[in-house]
Structure 1
Amino acid sequence: MTEADGGGSLDGRELRAWVAFLAAGHLIDHEIEQQLRRDGGLSHPEFEVLVKLRMAEGGRLRMSDLARQVMVSKSRLTYQVTQLERARLVRRTGCETDRRSVWAELTPEGAATLDRVRPGHRRVVRETLLDVLSPEEIDLLGDALSRVADRLRSR
């Protein structure tokens, strides 16, 4: 990339924002990962799978739809769902209308695990991010990161 096409080096302000974003993201993710492991034996990606299934109608999603929602590759999702299935938190079933599709479904044990870890998860999110920011900064951060995510999803 060249300067003309936007590939030039970052200026001081841009570099500061980028480095702070990376550091905060890694540190927050580390805190969340520790809490989820301690309270429920879950990884952060496994937690995200359980949350998406809880939010889905009937507590289940096709694996391909679940992969899109948790924004991971199908192979990575298969690994995560296999781990969750071994722990009896998720079960896979065949789709009645499409023999090529497989459903991932939240089990009662999965729902109970999610209920157990969610209060701690909310606490960590508040302590590590939300409590540090003013209401205006929370709005600004939400707006800015939503624009970034929308741009990347449209690619």
Structure 2
Amino acid sequence: MVTEHEPRWLDDGEMRAWRNYVVGASMLAERLHRELQDRHGVSLADYELLVRLSEQHGGRMRMSQLADEVASSKSRVSHQVARMEREGLLRRRECPEDGRGVFAELTEEGVRTLEGSAPTHVDGVRAHMIDLLTREEQEVVAKVFDRVITHLRGGAHA
């Protein structure tokens, strides 16, 4: 017979931390998205793909790796890349090493879009988060989310 255990309910401090994270992360993402959309016509999700690709040699990455990098499903990234390809920001290329792999690759228009929108995004990240934190708080946030990401990806706790 399976017995259910009593949940470990959150105390007031834990609940405050959780709720502030949920609301704050949502508000931050929405603000950064709106600033990019209003000023450059690019979504925060599209901007993130452009950034990840720009950091790679040749401006390209396997679609499966790109999905992992942005913590999204392969299907969602495939649809997003297809739309961005229609907009001229990316193109898909077959992987020469194996016939099944597909690369997403930045186009010149994608590079221009990224270069034009990056200052707005960085200004927003600074104004709405980074400059509100001390260096020590930034380090704590980085360590906490390194641990959360490692845990959620199935790794050992850091």
Shorter-chain TM-score range? over 0.9
Q: TM-score, normalised by structure 1?
A: 0.92
Q: What's 2:104 paired with?
A: 104
Q: What's 2:126 paired with?
A: 126
Q: What's 2:82 paired with?
A: 82
Greater relative CO (CA pairs within 8 A, separation 6+): 1
Alpha-carbon distance in structure 1 between the residues aligned to 2:154 and 2:122: 29
Counterpart code for 1:89:
L
Q: Which stretch shifts more, 35-44 or 59-68?
A: 35-44
Q: What's 1:40 paired with?
A: 40
Alpha-carbon distance in structure 1 between the residues aligned to 2:56 and 2:135: 30
* Structure 2, unaligned runs of 5 or more: none
Alpha-carbon distance in structure 2 between the residues aligned to 1:58 and 1:10: 47
Q: What's 1:25 paired with?
A: 25
Deviations 1:85-116 (A, max 9, x none): 01100001112221111111000110110001
Task: Please state how far the C-alpha of 1:26 moved relative to its aligned partner.
Answer: 0.7
3-state SS, counterpart of residue 105 of structure 2: strand
Q: What's 2:137 paired with?
A: 137
Cα RMSD over matched residues? 1.3
Q: What's 1:63 paired with?
A: 63
Alpha-carbon distance in structure 1 between the residues aligned to 2:123 and 2:133: 15
| Matched-pair contact (CA < 8 Å) for 1:91–1:106 | yes
Alpha-carbon distance in structure 2 between the residues aligned to 1:133 and 1:33: 21
3-state SS, counterpart of residue 48 of structure 1: helix
Q: What's 1:2 paired with?
A: 5
Q: Does 1:116 align with 2:116?
A: yes
Q: What's 1:91 paired with?
A: 91
Task: Please state how far the C-alpha of 1:40 moved relative to its aligned partner.
Answer: 2.3
Q: Does 1:54 align with 2:54?
A: yes
